[in-house]
Structure 1
Amino acid sequence: MRLIRMDGIQTFHQILVALFFCQPALAKFLLEDTINNIWGILPREQCRLKSPEFPCKYRRRSYPPPESVHRLQPGDIDIVAALGDSIIGSTAALAPNIFHIPNQYRGVSFAIGGVGTWKDRLTIPNILRVFNPYVTGGSSVPVGTENDRGTNLNLAVPGATSVTVFDQAKRLVDMLKRMRSMDRWKLITIQIGHNDVCTHPCNTTYTAFDASPYMYRQRIQHTLDYLKTNLRRTFINFVPVLDVTITKELKDLSPACLFAVPYVCPCVHGGFGGKPFTRKEMQRLLNGYLKEIKYLINSNRYEREDFTVVIQPAFVNIKPFYSYSKVHRKQSPDLTYFGPDCLHPSQKLHALMARALWNNMFSSENEKQTSWNQSPPFICPTPSNPYIATRFNNGGQSANNTGIVYGNYNHNRFVNVQCY
């Protein structure tokens, strides 16, 4: 299977030219590639990591469990949950073709997937299971909606916005109360706003509401206020919106992608009568969202001894990966990192997103990465840096820290893991 996608008309023209000049081998190559692209048949799964065991060696749990969120170790987390939209819901992540694009592959979601192990399905719950084998809440269902059995505490809803995420928060609190889990440490990941910026600010006929940065902050504040009032022993990862303008860089799309992108994100690509933003206009809106969220969370409104919200900006400055195209004879965006719609992350990308989020969880505020790369090292807790980083524990450092250097490999703070 080849990692190439081409415009359908261009490909058809090249097939005719190859046949005209009696080059059946080239024509066959182009035809096979076109079929693969139209049906979405591309290798979209992560490589299997070959380390015999998870690279982070320091896996201590706290006994008794900590009272302070600033002394929370990964092994102390008993419950994982997630709120969001189709990104958290993992729409199309393992879709084999265009007909499976609507499927939600929740078991491989970077934030809440619980299928497989960290070696073949790298997710935050699968990493945490190394530190605490009894962590619960991750989605164990390969494919399902937010209401299906096995979805567990992945309450993300495709099409959700900052307007509707409050309903997910209410449902989560109700479920946790029924589980009698208030006194157990919880990690909740929230990522919401893609549908706000993609479908609402450009006056589409699909729907419209005030998607300004200020109103986005007001709605997020309403949700976070509710969670703080009703939950204790909670660490919230707030993950800002992905830079949706990355799709502007994806070239040589299949006919299926050319059809899908205007309707999934009309404010970037047109569709539903929307007037698409320029890339600078959309990035200005996204920067406005991030600025308002920073203003809200950095106000200390959500700081309590057993509760915090931390911004994890892992995906705000992203770029597509490139691979060599045999047909175009040049480097082209590698679309194996996206689903057959060329918009939603594939499982391959979800795995890198999980690694990027994990690393941000163990980085101080000024050291958090804002983009992904194809082979990042794992950042590991150590005896000197055992805690998940908050704004007030100096990047997860222990009170008796002796001045460890983050890049010192003797302490296994950064560990590379290669693939088979």
Structure 2
Amino acid sequence: MNSNVLVLFGTFVAVLGNNEHKSGSHRGYPPISFTCPPLPPLERPARNVYELRPQDIKVAMALGDSITAGFGIMGVHDDPILDLFEYRGKSFSIGGDAGANTIASWLRNYNKDLVGMSVGSHVAELCYGEICSPDQYHPDKDVLNAAQSGAMIPNLVKHELKYLLEQLKRNTKIDMENDWKLLTILVGANDVCLGCSGDVPYLTADDYEKYMTELMEEIHNNIPKVFVNYMLLFNVSQVYDISMKSDYCKDVHRVLGIECVCVFEGGEKTRVEVGELTRQFNDRAVEVAKKFAGKYDDFAVVIQPCVADGTAATLTPEVISTVDCFHPSLLMHELMTKVLWNNMFTPSSGKDSTFNFSAPLKCPTNETLLYTN
């Protein structure tokens, strides 16, 4: 994304205004809040990854793209520059702002000394293919959220993991060898969107599996004691279905198409192709996880389906940001938190892939595990 284009985009949406929905509005959705009681201290810490409980997690980490970076969470502002911000403190997996409904914030209820959470906001850190600079990071706010807006799958090994390792080693609050760490990975939407453009090389399913296997191997080789939340992709073409329910979003995509343009301009055939590539990536993600299943005592890669089955298309425009009618709004981040949280404490056979945000919140007990199978 060119920053000048984004400034013009922000100006456009600020002038256009938004009388249909507000980012963060819960209209028609159950309010999200953490109501689980505290747990007593563990009699002993987990001896291996198959015994992990929420109290065991000492470090939160994240890899990914603009979703995890929190781009556009707070919607349109009067000042268009603020439309270019990432609100990392509210990111579903690792945000640490006061009162934020995120996985890391909820885990902090069981371990007040949890470290790694990203906080606050700042202008977007753009990473796109080889155009990716480590100098963009803001370690005081990003902390262990290594995600960057625009990142594609190869960027995780080349750039994001490098930053993450540097910050882990520098953080004096982290016992690298002994602290249990939770790493959440959500990536691939930019690769899929690049693929549907049809005029540049893009990742095949084989490429995807190769890169993600390499990434998991590098994580295991360099970071002890890690539980990986490996999130399957949602079908990005379904953002089209959500957008078409809003006249405001129709105007945004018609006047200033920026995000995944081929989904909105390529017709139904292209959207079907996007769905198929997404399915292929998700199938390969399962194969990647199988390569590490039961292989190590201090490392597990766990598939979290959450939004993979296509039901996201039934959601209303409140779940997408008013900045670009593409990225998740604050509401969507909170809904993702709840669905991921419930899946983390559910065996693989019972994990939800239907984005069932109305399900009761699972409250861990002292016997509840972060399930690895």
The AA in structure 1 aligned to 2:227 is F
Q: Does 1:68 align with 2:48?
A: yes
**Separation of aligned partners in 1, 2:284 and 2:160:** 22
Deviation at 1:173, TM superposition (A): 1.6
Among all aligned residue pairs of Structure 1 and Structure 2, give the percentage whose two residues are the same amino acid: 28
Q: Is residue 69–residue 87 contact of structure 2 (8 Å, CA) maintained in 1?
A: yes
* Structure 2 CA distance for partners of 1:305 and 1:364, relative to 1, 3 Å: same
* Structure 2 CA distance for partners of 1:194 and 1:46, relative to 1, 3 Å: same
* Structure 2 CA distance for partners of 1:286 and 1:66, relative to 1, 3 Å: same
* Structure 2 CA distance for partners of 1:94 and 1:312, relative to 1, 3 Å: same
The AA in structure 1 aligned to 2:111 is N
* Structure 2 CA distance for partners of 1:178 and 1:97, relative to 1, 3 Å: closer
Q: 2:254 aligns with which of 219, 234, 258?
A: 258
Deviation at 1:297, TM superposition (A): 1.0
Q: Does 1:123 align with 2:97?
A: no
The AA in structure 1 aligned to 2:69 is G
Give the equivalent residue in structure 1 for 2:338. 355
**Separation of aligned partners in 2, 1:191 and 1:57:** 29
**Separation of aligned partners in 1, 2:86 and 2:169:** 26
Q: Is residue 32–residue 335 contact of structure 2 (8 Å, CA) maintained in 1?
A: no
Q: Is residue 90–residue 104 contact of structure 1 (8 Å, CA) maintained in 2?
A: yes
| Deviation string, structure 1 residues 102-131 (Cα, Å, up to 9, x no partner) | 2111111101111122xxx21011111111
For structure 2, list consecutive stretches of 5 or more residues without a partner in the other structure: 1-12, 126-136
* Structure 2 CA distance for partners of 1:88 and 1:151, relative to 1, 3 Å: same
Q: 1:184 aligns with which of 175, 179, 183?
A: 179
Which has a greater percent of helix? 2
**Separation of aligned partners in 2, 1:49 and 1:268:** 31
| Deviation string, structure 1 residues 197-256 (Cα, Å, up to 9, x no partner) | 01234324xxx3331111011111111110000111111101122211212213133222
Q: Is residue 39–residue 97 contact of structure 1 (8 Å, CA) maintained in 2?
A: no
Q: Is residue 77–residue 132 contact of structure 1 (8 Å, CA) maintained in 2?
A: yes
Q: Which moved more, 1:371-380 or 1:232-241?
A: 371-380
Deviation at 1:386, TM superposition (A): 1.5
For structure 1, list consecutive stretches of 5 or more residues without a partner in the other structure: 1-34, 323-332, 392-420
* Structure 2 CA distance for partners of 1:224 and 1:277, relative to 1, 3 Å: farther
Give the equivalent residue in structure 2 for 1:247. 239
The AA in structure 1 aligned to 2:219 is L
Q: 2:193 aligns with which of 180, 189, 198?
A: 198
The correspondence of residues 73-152 of structure 1 with structure 2, limited to 5 A, is 73-97=53-77, 99=80, 100-117=82-99, 121-145=100-124, 147-148=137-138, 149-152=140-143
Deviation at 1:66, TM superposition (A): 1.5
Q: Is residue 238–residue 313 contact of structure 2 (8 Å, CA) maintained in 1?
A: no
The correspondence of residues 212-361 of structure 1 with structure 2, limited to 5 A, is 212-249=204-241, 250-251=243-244, 252-254=246-248, 255-260=251-256, 262-270=257-265, 277-300=269-292, 303-320=295-312, 334-340=316-322, 341-361=324-344
Q: 1:55 aligns with which of 26, 35, 59?
A: 35
**Separation of aligned partners in 1, 2:98 and 2:347:** 30
Q: Which moved more, 1:54-63 or 1:246-255?
A: 54-63
| Deviation string, structure 1 residues 24-61 (Cα, Å, up to 9, x no partner) | xxxxxxxxxxx99932463322659597xx43336244
Q: Is residue 201–residue 211 contact of structure 1 (8 Å, CA) maintained in 2?
A: no
Aligned to 1:263, the other structure's residue is in SS state: coil
RMSD: 2.6
The AA in structure 2 aligned to 1:256 is V
Q: Which has the larger radius of gyration?
A: 1
Deviation at 1:268, TM superposition (A): 1.6
Q: Is residue 191–residue 241 contact of structure 1 (8 Å, CA) maintained in 2?
A: yes
Aligned to 2:184, the other structure's residue is in SS state: strand
**Separation of aligned partners in 1, 2:18 and 2:183:** 33
Deviation at 1:62, TM superposition (A): 3.0
**Separation of aligned partners in 1, 2:340 and 2:298:** 21
**Separation of aligned partners in 2, 1:162 and 1:111:** 18
The correspondence of residues 371-390 of structure 1 with structure 2, limited to 5 A, is 371-383=354-366, 385-390=367-372
Deviation at 1:387, TM superposition (A): 1.1
Q: Which moved more, 1:302-311 or 1:363-372?
A: 302-311
* Structure 2 CA distance for partners of 1:188 and 1:267, relative to 1, 3 Å: same
**Separation of aligned partners in 1, 2:32 and 2:336:** 19
* Structure 2 CA distance for partners of 1:219 and 1:366, relative to 1, 3 Å: same
Q: Does 1:160 align with 2:142?
A: no
**Separation of aligned partners in 1, 2:312 and 2:54:** 30
The AA in structure 2 aligned to 1:160 is A
Q: Which moved more, 1:101-110 or 1:41-50?
A: 41-50
Q: Is residue 107–residue 143 contact of structure 1 (8 Å, CA) maintained in 2?
A: no
* Structure 2 CA distance for partners of 1:181 and 1:168, relative to 1, 3 Å: farther
**Normalising by structure 1, what TM-score?**
0.73
**Normalising by structure 2, what TM-score?**
0.82
Q: Is residue 95–residue 103 contact of structure 1 (8 Å, CA) maintained in 2?
A: no
Deviation at 1:292, TM superposition (A): 0.9
| Deviation string, structure 1 residues 73-124 (Cα, Å, up to 9, x no partner) | 111111101100011111111023493442111111101111122xxx2101
Q: Is residue 269–residue 276 contact of structure 1 (8 Å, CA) maintained in 2?
A: no
Q: Which moved more, 1:106-115 or 1:275-284?
A: 275-284
Deviation at 1:366, TM superposition (A): 1.2
* Structure 2 CA distance for partners of 1:290 and 1:50, relative to 1, 3 Å: closer
Deviation at 1:301, TM superposition (A): 5.9
**Separation of aligned partners in 2, 1:319 and 1:59:** 34
